[in-house]
Amino acid sequence: MKRSILQQMAHTCGYAGRALALGAAAVVALLTFSAAPAAAHGERSQQAFLRMRTLNWYDVKWSKTSLNVNEEMELTGKVHVFSGWPQAVAKPQEAFLNVGEPGPVLIRKSASVGEVPVPRTFSMDVGYDYEYKIVLKARRPGRYHVHVQINVKDGGPIVGPGEWIEIKGDMKDFTNPVTLLDGSTIDLESYGINWTYLYHFVWMAAALVWILYWFLQKGIIVRGWQVAAGKRNEIITPEDKRFGGLWLAVAMLALLFFYANANREFPRTLPMQAGLLTGIPFIEDSRRETVAVHYSGGSYKVPGRELTVNLQITNKGQEPLRVGEFTTAGLRFLNPDVFTTRPVFPDYLLADRGLSVSDPSPIAPGETKNLVITVQDARFDVERLSDLAYDTDSQFGGLLFLFSPSGKREKVEIGGPVIPKFQLGATL
């Protein structure tokens, strides 16, 4: 049987179309099911000097590491805004306390800095320490890496330490009750969603009717021929115009009805709230100078993952002090002579034998001592702090903690330029 080209095309297209549709569906299914959950938030990709010399996180605690859907936990800690904040990064005049997690697996019920609620942007001052608290509520089952994070305007996100959090249960059980100012309670998880779908899809259905009304009259090609034949002014009839006018009138009336109905149903509405929160209280003893430190140079052995710093430390306090910890970019390097037990902290960030001091004896009150402090651990490399050697601003930074026999802790900021050593045995 003789078939036209278009018939053959239509026949072929039938098979090809089905095959194409099946193939496309398979690809979509494959992509959907093979999507692996995100396990980290790119903090290692940030330049080392930026992580070391912007925000120094300490005393970070996750109140729970395993919880059920709807259960709450607290993420608390302190952050020191480094005095030697890099010139390349905007200062935290506008900052936002955030959570690093793969989507809203836990929702943020509240957040505060210095006991001031911070649902919006706030301002921090360089050189001071701030205490923060975030209350999180478990929403989606799974195992997730959850970080504290502060976003700095024109600086980017600065990610703090992260911990694995296990959430059990079923997301269908999750609720997010919120009490409105009028006293009524709603579930924000699903509030207004059905109406949103309905409103949008009613208009979209109307749009489809409008399109098909015109398309089904003469299609596209025939109209094109008519226009090409110079009959463009004959295509639209007075009936068409009447229909169009009527259609628009009905659409505008429907819109008016929806609008009035919304105003009737929600008579009291407010504009969205925004604005910078200033005057956030810092930790009182942020600038206390019980310990004075003078940095007199240092080096970083790239192959050995070893940071060596020369410090002149003066103890201005009443008790002898020993260097116990150096923390930077969320990593903690501990002196095993001081930390006899391993603190609870994510293993990937805790080098419990990572710090050593040239003279282990305590610094007596009033004494000034020259010390060489060595920070060495593979985590330095794993967390890509070794890349400091390749940064445009090869200055390190961090917090040094000293401990008295009574258990009192003194914090002091250290930092300065370091000279990289690319070969073992090389000298400064």
383-422: contacts with another protein (CB under 8 A): none
Could you say whether residue 149 binds another protein (CB under 8 A)? yes
Nearer to another protein, 43 or 383 (CB): 43
Binding to another protein, residues 196-255 (CB under 8 A): 196-197, 199-200, 203-204, 206-208, 210-211, 214-227, 232, 235-236, 240-241, 244-245, 247-248, 251-252, 255
Query: Kind and range of the H or E element at 10?
Result: helix 5-33
**β 116-117/106-113 pair status:** antiparallel
Q: What is the CA angle 285-287-288, rounded to 5?
A: 60
Site mask, another protein, residues 57-96, x = CB under 8 A? -------------------------------------xxx
Nearer to another protein, 274 or 423 (CB): 274
State how far the Cα of 351 lies from the Cα of 327, in Å rounded to an integer.
10
Nearer to another protein, 187 or 289 (CB): 187
**Which residues 6+ apart lie within 8 Å of 301 measured at CB?**
308, 421, 424, 426
Could you say whether residue 273 binds another protein (CB under 8 A)? yes
Give the residue, chosen from 171, 283, 338, 389, that forms a contact with another protein under the rule CB under 8 A: 171
Give the residue, chosen from 110, 310, 314, 395, that forms a contact with another protein under the rule CB under 8 A: 110
Nearer to another protein, 105 or 363 (CB): 105
Nearer to another protein, 101 or 325 (CB): 101
State how far the Cα of 151 lies from the Cα of 91, in Å rounded to an integer.
11
- Can you read off the two tokens belonging to residue 424? 């073992």
Ordered DSSP codes for 369-422: EEEEEEEE-HHHHHTT-GGGGGSSS-EEEEEEEEE-TT--EEEEEEEEE-EEE-
Number of CB atoms found within 10 A of residue 366's CB:
10
Please, what is the minimum distance in Å from the beta carbon of residue 56 to another protein? Answer: 20
Nearer to another protein, 139 or 421 (CB): 139
Q: Length of the chain, please?
A: 428
Please, what is the minimum distance in Å from the beta carbon of residue 302 to another protein? Answer: 31
Among 412, 392, 383, smallest CA distance to 307 is for: 383
Nearer to another protein, 225 or 422 (CB): 225
Please, what is the minimum distance in Å from the beta carbon of residue 274 to another protein? Answer: 4
Could you say whether residue 36 binds another protein (CB under 8 A)? no
